[in-house]
Amino acid sequence: MSNENQQSLVSSLYERFLKNPWPYYTGAVILAVLNVALLAASGKPWGISGIFNYWGGMIVELFGGSVENWLFFKNPKHLKLLHKGFWGNPGSVRDFAIIIAALMTSLLAGQFKFKMIKSWRQFAAAVIGGLFMGYGAMIAFGCNIGGLFSGTASMSLHGWVFMVFIFLGGLVGSKILVKYLL
Amino acid sequence: MQEKELDCLGEACPIPLVKAEKAMNTLEVGDLLIISIDHSCAMKNLPEWARDNGHNVEIEETGEGQWEVFIEKCK
């Protein structure tokens, strides 16, 4: 193979795998395979947001606060896992890896960019939306990964109930978005 | 032929799409809509939407994580 051909092969592979977004079905298949692998290997369904309880607890303890009276940490299993620390908690390592991988993806694609906050409305919407999502995920015992994705993948009823209501929530959210954020 | 620019930098999905849809309705056939975006999912759903509606689309990368989407209204 000539040098020129090699170069064009490398750049076409780069474009295809790192630069351009993958089709949705590629992501779906990879997620499905990894989900089965994780469930088979660890015996627990995949979750994201439950870990934020532990991260929150760690931050509070880091500043000398006590979380032992929190309802969540009154469960001795939760407290024990909290004290295994950041790297002793498999879910915590996974969440950290997701953040690093997402950063790497945008850096490798040459698409990393700090984005400006466009308006106070956008700022307020992001803060309020984030609080709602976090609070909702905690009282629902899972976000769209632990609650919806892992739920439906294991044919648990709660995942399908989650799906119906996330759809309704999305409808309301998009009405609010069109009314206040355009 | 008229040219309209839409600054959607800093806007997250689906706002660029909804704004583009609105702007498109004010244009005539043959007019050009130029949308600046920096949200990579808009780089996927804007051209998809425009092509589905039979318009001509071109994308230009104007910087790291920043694009201009040119949509020519065809019908």
The pLDDT score that the predictor gives to residue A64 is: 95
| Largest separation between any pair of C-alpha atoms in chain B | 32
The pLDDT score that the predictor gives to residue A8 is: 92
Element (H or E) spanning B7, and its range? strand B3-8
Q: Is the ipTM of this complex over 0.95?
A: no
Clarify whether B13 is annotated catalytic: yes
Pairing status of strand B66-72 against strand B32-37: antiparallel
Of A112, A117, A178, the CB nearest to B65: A112
Residue A151: HSE in the Cβ half-sphere, 13 Å Cα cutoff: 17
Of A110, A112, A178, the CB nearest to B18: A178
Looking at the complex, report in whole angstroms how far the Cα of residue B20 sits from the nearest Cα belonging to chain A: 11
Strand-pair partners of B37:
B8, B67
Contact between A178 and B65 using a beta-carbon 8 Å cutoff? no
Residue A166: alpha-carbon gap to chain centroid: 16
Write the pLDDT tens digit of every residue in B39-70.
988 988 999 999 999 999 999 999 999 999 99
Looking at the complex, report in whole angstroms how far the Cα of residue B10 sits from the nearest Cα belonging to chain A: 5
Please list the ranges in chain A whose pLDDT falls under 70: 1
Looking at the complex, report in whole angstroms how far the Cα of residue A62 sits from the nearest Cα belonging to chain B: 34
Contact between B43 and A182 using a beta-carbon 8 Å cutoff? no
Write the pLDDT tens digit of every residue in B4-31.
999 999 998 889 999 999 999 999 999 9
Task: Locate the chain A residue with the closest alpha carbon to B7.
Answer: A118
The pLDDT score that the predictor gives to residue B66 is: 94
Residue A4, exposed/middle/buried by CB under 10 A (0-12, 13-18, 19+)?
Answer: exposed
Q: Chains A and B: how many Cβ contacts under 8 Å?
A: 41
Write the pLDDT tens digit of every residue in A129-169.
999 999 999 988 889 999 999 999 999 999 999 999 999 99
Contact between A21 and B40 using a beta-carbon 8 Å cutoff? yes
Contact between B10 and A106 using a beta-carbon 8 Å cutoff? no
Task: Map residue B6 onto helix, strand or coil.
Answer: strand
